[in-house]
Amino acid sequence: MKKTLKIVGIVIGLLIVFLIAAPFIFEGKILDIVKSTVNKNIDAEFDFADADISFIRNFPEVTVSVNDMSILNTGTFAGKTLVAAKSANISVPFMQIFNSEGESYTVNSFSIDGAVVNILIDEDGNVNYDIAKKDGTEVPVTTSETPASTVSLSIQNYDISNSQIKYYDEQGKMYFELNDFNHSGTGDLSAVKSELDTKTSGLVSFDMDGTNYFKDTPVTLDAKLGVDLEQNIYTFLENKAVINQLELVFDGNVKLNDDSQDVAITFKTPSSDFKNFLALIPKEYSKEIENVNTTGDFVVQGNFNGTVDDTHIPKFNIDITSNNASFKYPDLPQSVSNITIDTKIANETGLLENTYVNINALTFKIAQDVFSASANIKNLMGNPLVNANLKGRINLGNLSQAYPFDVEQQMQGVLDANIATAFDMKAIEDGRYQDTKNSGSLGLSGFEFNSEDLTNPIQISKAGLTFNTQNVTLNTFEAKTGQTDLSAKGSIDNLLGYMFNDQLLKGNFTLNSNRFALNDFMTESENPEDTDANKTTTESTSEMNTTEAIKIPAFLDATIVAKANTVLYDNLTLKDASGSLLVKDETVTLKDFKSSIFGGQIALNGAVSTKAETPTFDVKLGMQSFDMAESFKGLDMLKALAPIAQAFQGVLNSNFEIKGDLSNEFTPNLSTLSGNALAEILVSDVDSEDSKVLSTLVDRLEFLNFNEGETKKINTTLTFDNGQVNVKPFNLKFKDIDVQVAGSHGFDQTLNYNATFDVPAKYLGKEAQSLLSKLNDAEAENISVPVTANIGGNVGSPSVTTDLSATATALTNKLVEMQKDKLLNEGSTKVKDALSNFLGTNSSKDSTTVTTDAATKTKDSVTTDNIKKAADNLLNGLFGKKKEETNTGD
């Protein structure tokens, strides 16, 4: 017994060792066979990143696993992925690992995880999924040493998990997507006749011809299929599908032919409870339908019967009916009652374009309000012929009383509709709107709406639209929000083209307002709290602070003529504003805008565009009779363009041509501005205390007093670009001091100016007065010297440097020359002593009388030291003791 157990133990041990070692022995052989076999049988490229073979996982079968598998198209769709998967597994009988190359292999099971399948049909009808070798295609010739391998299916079970299927038909303008796809089945597919038990779930999205019918709608299907491989017939035995929350049961069969399929399927809802209708509503909106009280019925039933081939679809008939139904949520006061639905979707010919929809009746009642609709759409997949009618009244306040909408504030107002329309899509596409028939009216009264995106609630007291074949007319529109009131009329010329054919929405409107506050239509940017998470990186903080830019609608082509008695924007108040707005091509053009502001008039023409990533503007702006004090307090742009001018009192006239970028809040980005301005200032007063630059000049130059200005008009030209404003020379006069100013400054408030003062000598202190009196000449009254001040630093902290020393020396030299000339002309014999006395220096006690010829030589005998000493005395007298005690910067 012990010997037997020992032998069994040895055998089991050897088997375990073999099972562990076998993958390393046979792996290369099997993986080469898998890859070569697949590539020999498809017109595509099959590959995988790595693979693994296990003898233990599904013993006694061998499991081959591949990771990062892909099948890439060749030919028309070359390089595009047909199939990709994170992992795929197949199991084959153990003994088949000893097969010679060329012998057949049997697959018993397979599984796929993370698969992506892309099915494409291009505009020419080419498909990317037909990758099997065609008849007549030459397979590489094999010798007896390398026979071709074949694979047969004997699948008992399979599993597809976490996968995705995409179907895009460019020719048919159809898009289908199945996400979160999970499918599994058990059965014996090697038998001629068998049963296959399957379970399927996923999220379905479906678009056709630009219209979305499903968006991530959940579906499940539990189906038991009868499989007849000999006849190629697949029969639905026990089946239940759930679309969103609507249950359907169905039976029938599908027969696969060589070039077609024969379909015979019927389906219906297992019950007639009206909750079936609520189950069609997406789960996030249906709000716990299990607690809803319902009466009446709701039934969906139909059939598909016919052949599917290149030109036909199955004939089908789908009926959706409900009679005198109602529903009421237990926590809400109102119910929706008198619900009648009679809808049919059908195709009686098997030709796709002949599909039609008849909504014979759709009615419901909330409180005392009744709403009804009917429609007929023929040739749904060809040139649809539409005939529809809407009629009724809806009290919007009752909607949230009957259905649990997610709104922070209940809507209010009454909507009245009576609209009829008849058209075919071809007429819309061709722009033949005269071939359409539209009539009726739409009215709204007592409407109020609010949301977190609005600064204030919008209240529409009344609005009325009428419809006809040519256009839609806005007969009345009276609204209010915040401080703003609006009254509008106008027309829309091609509403159908916009709705159905992606054409521009064209219109003409007049807009009137007693008070229009732009701030009522702006929302504050959210500033994130200074949390640790926000401070981790500059990038994350920047992203959180980014606000969404305003975009001018690309679909709008409209002209708006507007008038407003008062327009409020930030801290500005405009009176009697009027102008025209042209909205087109993501650009708003403002024409002939006029308004009263700052005691004067403003005129503006220009455009704002949001076509580029950064919005831009380009305007011409006229200012007439602006009050200087008011305008500089109210307009930051004026402060940036002329920061020194804000100290002037008076009237501003100007013409601007300016362009640049706008921020997300539609305010100018100063660093991007460029343009020019012609400015005229009619000066009534100057308050140097309002300007740090002017007050600094007064401190530096005692002879300067801005309160004694004689200048009544200043004219200058400004040009600006790259954040710099260049000012051409302009002239001022204070008493009898002429001033010329020129230079530049930056929008960053940096200064670089030169001011040249033509100063009469009489203002240059006691020493200068003493020298002038010695001339004893009327000419002395007209003597002046230039004083230059260089202004730097910035507007808030300016620096002023002058050439005062040079000015004093120049004045002294000038006065000496005049005195010399005077003495020479008089023939004086004591020139040197006279000049010394003039300069305030002592002459030699032994000086002698000289002749006129000698006097001529005396012009050069007055020493430089004496002149310098006189200039120093003049400088001290010029700027007083206070200047001596401070650092003048000269």
Using left for φ > 0, alpha for ψ between -120 and 50, and beta otherwise, residue 606 falls in: left
Tell me if residue 33 falls in helix, strand or coil: helix
Host H or E run for residue 808: helix 804-826
Q: 204-241: string of b/e by CB count within 10 Å (b at 16+)?
A: bbbbeeeeeebeebbbebebbbebeeeeeebbbeebeb
Domain carrying residue 53: 17-132+151-172
- Cα four-point dihedral sign 138, 139, 144, 146: positive
288: closest CA among 269, 298, 274, 275? Answer: 275
Residue 881: per-residue pLDDT: 41
CA distance 151 to 36: 12
807 shares a domain with 732: no
Is the residue at 600 inside a domain?
Answer: yes
- Specify which residues 242 forms β-bridges with: 220, 247
Report how far residue 84's alpha carbon sits from residue 112's, in angstroms, rounded to the nearest whole number: 10
Rounded CA separation 798/697 (Å): 9
Q: How far apart are the first and last CA of the chain?
A: 122
Statement to judge: residues 715 and 816 lie in one domain: no
> Do 700 and 586 share a structural domain?
yes
Would residue 481 count as lying in a domain? no
694 and 807 share a domain? no
The answer to the question of residue 615 being in a domain is yes
Give the pLDDT confidence score for residue 207 in this predicted structure.
85
Q: Long-range contacts for 162-165 (Cβ within 8 Å, ≥24 apart)?
A: 162/113, 162/114, 163/85, 163/112, 163/113, 163/114, 163/115, 163/116, 163/117, 164/115, 164/116, 164/117, 165/117, 165/119
| 143-to-147, 562, 754 alpha-carbon distances in Å | 6, 88, 99
For residue 719, what are its two tokens? 């040009």
Joined together, the tokens standing for residue 615 give 């919005």
Q: 10-residue block means of pLDDT along the chain (890 residues)?
A: 57 52 57 72 82 71 82 85 87 68 69 90 85 58 44 73 91 86 85 87 85 82 88 88 85 89 91 80 66 88 91 92 90 90 93 90 91 91 87 88 72 89 81 81 87 76 87 89 90 76 82 86 48 38 46 83 87 88 88 89 90 88 82 74 74 86 78 85 72 75 68 81 85 81 85 84 64 59 77 84 70 66 54 52 43 44 51 50 40
- The residue ranges of DSSP E strands in 497-555, in sequence order, are 505-517
Cis peptide before 668 (omega within 30 of 0): no
538 sits in which H/E element: helix 538-545
d(C-alpha 28, C-alpha 63), whole Å: 14
Residue 365 parent element (H or E): strand 356-366
Same domain, 809 and 693: no
> Taking all residues of the chain, what is their mean pLDDT, rounded to a whole number?
77
CB 357 within 8 A of CB 319: no
Residue with tokens 């409407």: 447
Has residue 32 been placed in a domain? Answer: yes
Instruction: Give a yes or no: residue 430 inside a domain.
Output: no
Domain-located, residue 341:
no
The three-class DSSP label of residue 330 is coil
d(CA 601, CA 574): 9
H or E stretch covering 164: strand 151-169
Output the pLDDT for position 329.
Answer: 86
Residues 622 and 709 in one domain: yes
Residues 814 and 715 in one domain: no
Q: At what angle do helices 831-839 and 864-884 cross, to 10 degrees?
A: 10
Measured CA to CA, the distance from residue 216 to residue 206 in angstroms comes to: 9
Question: In this structure, are 572 and 713 located in the same domain?
Answer: yes
Q: Which of 686, 818, 704 shows the shortest CA–CA distance to 759?
A: 704
pLDDT at site 179: 93
Distance between CA atoms of residues 1 and 15, nearest Å: 21
Distance CA 734, CA 756 (A): 13
Residue with tokens 């040197």: 832
Same structural domain for residues 671 and 601? Answer: yes
207: nearest Cα among 178, 174, 179: 174
Q: What is the pLDDT of residue 635?
A: 76
Query: Which of 694, 718, 742 delimits the end of a domain?
Result: 742
Q: By the 8 A CB rule, do 501 and 482 touch?
A: no
CA pair distance 221, 241, nearest whole angstrom: 4
- Confidence (pLDDT) at 532: 42
Cβ-contact 426, 436 below 8 angstroms: no
Pairwise CA distance, residues 851 & 155, whole Å? 141
Q: Report residue 493: phi and psi, to 5°.
A: -90, -25
pLDDT score of 172: 75
Residue for token digits 């081959």?
64
Per-residue pLDDT reduced to its tens digit, 457-476: 888 899 999 988 778 898 99
Reported in sequence order, the residue ranges of 57-150 that DSSP labels E, i.e. its strands, are 61-73, 81-93, 105-113, 116-121
What SS3 class is residue 470?
A: coil
Distance CA 77, CA 79 (A): 6
pLDDT of 856:
44
Q: Which residues pair with 61 in a beta bridge?
A: 93
- Residue 573 pairs with which residues in a beta bridge? 568
Let me know if residue 155 belongs to a domain. Answer: yes
Same domain, 722 and 826: no
Asked whether residue 733 falls in the same domain as residue 818, the answer is: no
Q: Transcribe 388-437 into DSSP letters.
A: EEEEEEEEHHHHHHHS----SS--EEEEEEEEEEEEEHHHHHTT-GGG-E
At position 726, the amino acid (one-letter code) is: N
Cα separation, 91 vs 548, in Å, equals 55
Question: If we measure between CA atoms, which residue out of 402, 387, 395 comes closest to residue 370?
Answer: 395
Domain boundary among 694, 721, 742: 742
Tell me: do 808 and 696 sit in the same domain.
Answer: no
Q: What is the pLDDT of residue 138?
A: 44
Amino acid letter for position 858: T
Domain count for the chain: 3
pTM exceeds 0.75, yes or no: no
Domain edge (last residue) among 742, 759, 777: 742
Q: Is residue 327 part of a domain?
A: no
Q: Which residue has the tokens 């009522």?
A: 520
User: Can you name the residues that pair with 754 across neighbouring β-strands?
Assistant: 742, 790
DSSP 776: -
